[in-house]
């Protein structure tokens, strides 16, 4: 077979694929990254938790984008459901658990540019701007067929190719999940009043409505609602949109001005039945899709990238086969609890907002009430949110691979 041969081939040049590429190539593993040329610009932002920031810093990425990020020092949840059993307002303050900030919010375009620049500086990484068309898994290798170029063979393929993952299909891995009757509308905005580094998540009857700080007098917005409602709001002119958002946010940021560019994302929840088989591992949204509640999705994906990279580097150091079935097994086991617990929490919280079932609203209300009033519980939840006990790969602890 003509074509390139490497140790690991990664499919997908989103944040998860780029992070895995940097971690592996930075540790000297011959890696190829198959990345489809960039499509329409992504106006979303990502709230990166402190451990994700530590990993990006360790990989030499954070230094390239930290000036574009805003710290998240306080997080507020406000019950705006207007229901009988409403929850208390809950405040989480990073100083309560000895942190300066829970993490940082950054526009995806800056994060991707920093990852891309770092990746291109690594000698062990081959960038292939092409689309993967087929993935053939054999006993001793995996081959990625490209739309334009020659195929790439490797001992292991990492599928970081997003929610419609070709790699997942090629490995015959099924998923479990469901679509929600919700769409997330996203855009950024400037405002008159300062955000004081505080993100605010309003819980409404149609889903969360979240304002997250950006540097200066700017914030990003994620508005989750019924698809028709999201489409109606997305079609408003600038003035009407500003009034709608000021009303929904109870003017906490004063007068606002929406910036150009609006995104719409149909929501669902999905988890792959297996995160890896011999010769192929899944990472990021190829492995799990979560609703944007509590800012978990990409943070989980970065932990996938850190974990698979750590296992591959260790196997290589011991002279082992990085695509072997036992490595796949260990990866699946290492990620299962972290992904399942966060998916369950996000699903329950989201469904409790949509549900008219009084006991479920009561449980959510009670949970938030207890969090606000019982300090040790609140602090335990904050610590778990930032640094999950089930998964702390080396990069997340600031240790190089
Ligand atoms: C509204 C919204 C807000 C969010 N906010 C947050 C947040 O605050 N914090 C957080 O942690 N997460 C957040 N998330 C989740 C986060 O955006 C995703 O987890 C993250 O983008 C997934 O990254 P990824 O690299 O796995 O996939 P993607 O970003 O989808 O990247 C996949 C890449 O693979 C490429 N690709 C696909 N198929 C092929 C192929 N055949 N060949 C070559 N390339 C291919 C695609 O072009 C793409 O570049 C949010 C999500 C939404 C919808």
What digits encode the pLDDT tens for the residues 223-264?
999 999 999 999 999 999 999 999 999 999 999 999 998 999
Of the two residues 37 and 287, the one the predictor is more confident about is 287
- Tell me: pLDDT of 357 over 60: no
- Tell me: pLDDT of 356 over 70: no
Note the pLDDT of residue 363: 65
160 CA distance to ligand 1 centroid (A)? Answer: 9
pLDDT band at 88 (very low <50, low <70, confident <90, very high): low
> Is residue 224 within 6 Å of ligand 1 at its C-beta?
no
pLDDT band at 208 (very low <50, low <70, confident <90, very high): confident
Mean per-residue pLDDT, 134-142 = 97
> Is residue 265 within 6 Å of ligand 1 at its C-beta?
yes
Percent of the chain scoring above 70 in pLDDT: 90
Residues facing 157 on adjacent strands: 9, 280
Note the pLDDT of residue 251: 92
Q: pTM for the whole thing?
A: 0.93
Mutation test residue for ligand 1: of 113, 264, 284, 345, the one with most atoms within 8 Å of CB: 284
> Is residue 330 within 6 Å of ligand 1 at its C-beta?
no
Of the two residues 249 and 40, the one the predictor is more confident about is 249
Note the pLDDT of residue 77: 85
- Tell me: pLDDT of 312 over 70: yes
Note the pLDDT of residue 87: 58
What values do phi and psi take at 363, rounded to 5? -65, -45
Question: Minimum mean pLDDT among 21-25, 37-41, 174-178, 209-213: which range?
Answer: 37-41
Nearest CA to 110 out of 72, 55, 68 is that of: 68
> Is residue 291 within 6 Å of ligand 1 at its C-beta?
no
- Tell me: pLDDT of 270 over 60: yes
What pLDDT, in 10s, does the model give residues 182-197? 999 999 999 999 999 9
- CA atoms of 366 and 173, how far apart (whole Å): 38
- CA atoms of 133 and 44, how far apart (whole Å): 27
Mean per-residue pLDDT, 214-218 = 98
Mean per-residue pLDDT, 115-138 = 97
Note the pLDDT of residue 201: 87
> Is residue 116 within 6 Å of ligand 1 at its C-beta?
no
What values do phi and psi take at 204, rounded to 5? -110, 175
pLDDT band at 299 (very low <50, low <70, confident <90, very high): very high
Percent of the chain scoring above 90 in pLDDT: 74
Please answer whether residues 3 and 142 qualify as being in contact, where contact means their C-beta atoms are separated by less than 8 angstroms: no
Identify the residue whose C-alpha is closest to ligand 1 atom 29: 14
209 CA distance to ligand 1 centroid (A)? Answer: 20
Identify the residue whose C-alpha is closest to ligand 1 atom 52: 292
> Is residue 47 within 6 Å of ligand 1 at its C-beta?
yes
285 CA distance to ligand 1 centroid (A)? Answer: 6
Note the pLDDT of residue 392: 87
What mean pLDDT, rounded, does the chain reach? 91
Instruction: Give the burial class of 278: count Cβ atoms within 10 A of its Cβ; 0-12 exposed, 13-18 middle, 19 or more buried.
Output: buried
116 CA distance to ligand 1 centroid (A)? Answer: 15
Note the pLDDT of residue 136: 98
Identify the residue whose C-alpha is closest to ligand 1 atom 2: 292
Q: How many CB atoms lie within 10 A of CB 333?
A: 11
Please identify, by atom number, the ligand 1 atom nearest to the C-alpha of residue 130: 43
pLDDT band at 284 (very low <50, low <70, confident <90, very high): very high
Mean per-residue pLDDT, 255-281 = 95
Note the pLDDT of residue 369: 67
pLDDT band at 271 (very low <50, low <70, confident <90, very high): very high
163 CA distance to ligand 1 centroid (A)? Answer: 8
- Tell me: pLDDT of 355 over 80: no
Note the pLDDT of residue 344: 87
Please identify, by atom number, the ligand 1 atom nearest to the C-alpha of residue 39: 47
Structure tokens at 27: 């540790």
pLDDT band at 383 (very low <50, low <70, confident <90, very high): confident
CA distances for 66 relative to 26, 53, 294, angstroms: 20, 9, 22
């Amino acid at each position: 077979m003509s074509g390139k041969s490497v140790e690991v081939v990664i499919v997908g040049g989103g944040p998860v694929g780029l992070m895995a590429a940097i971690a592996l190539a930075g540790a000297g593993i011959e890696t190829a990254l198959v990345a489809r040329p960039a499509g329409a610009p992504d106006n979303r932002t990502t709230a990166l938790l402190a451990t994700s920031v530590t990993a990006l810093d360790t990989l030499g990425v954070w230094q390239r984008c930290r000036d574009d990020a805003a710290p998240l020092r306080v997080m507020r949840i406000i019950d705006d459901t207007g229901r009988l059993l409403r929850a208390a307002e809950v405040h989480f303050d990073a100083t309560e658990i000895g942190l300066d900030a829970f993490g940082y919010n950054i526009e995806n375009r800056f994060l991707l540019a920093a990852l891309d620049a770092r990746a291109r500086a690594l000698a062990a990484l081959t960038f292939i701007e092409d689309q993967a068309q087929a993935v053939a898994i054999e006993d001793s290798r995996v081959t990625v067929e490209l739309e334009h170029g020659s195929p790439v063979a490797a001992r292991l393929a990492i599928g970081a190719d997003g929610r419609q993952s070709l790699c997942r299909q090629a490995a015959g891995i099924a998923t479990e999940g469901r679509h929600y009757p919700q769409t997330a509308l996203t855009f950024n905005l400037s405002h008159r009043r300062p955000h004081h580094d505080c993100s605010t998540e309003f819980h409404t009857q149609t889903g969360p409505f979240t304002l997250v700080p950006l540097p200066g007098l700017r914030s990003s917005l994620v508005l989750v609602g019924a698809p028709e409602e999201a489409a109606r709001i997305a079609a408003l002119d600038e003035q009407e949109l500003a009034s709608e958002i000021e009303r929904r946010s109870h003017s906490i940021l004063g007068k606002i001005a929406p910036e150009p560019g609006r995104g719409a994302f149909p929501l669902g929840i999905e988890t792959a039945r297996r995160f890896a088989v011999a010769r192929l591992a899944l990472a990021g949204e190829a492995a799990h899709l979560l609703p944007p509640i509590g800012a978990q999705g990409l943070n989980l994906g970065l932990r996938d990238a850190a974990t698979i990279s750590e296992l591959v580097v260790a196997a290589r150091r011991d002279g082992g086969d990085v695509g072997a079935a036992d490595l796949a097994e260990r990866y699946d086991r290492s990620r299962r609890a972290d992904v399942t617990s966060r998916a369950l929490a996000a699903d329950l919280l989201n469904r409790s907002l949509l549900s008219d079932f009084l006991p479920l609203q009561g449980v959510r209300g009670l949970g938030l009430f207890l969090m606000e009033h019982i300090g040790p519980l609140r602090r335990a939840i904050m610590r778990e949110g930032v640094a999950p006990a089930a998964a702390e790969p080396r990069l997340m602890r600031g240790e190089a691979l």
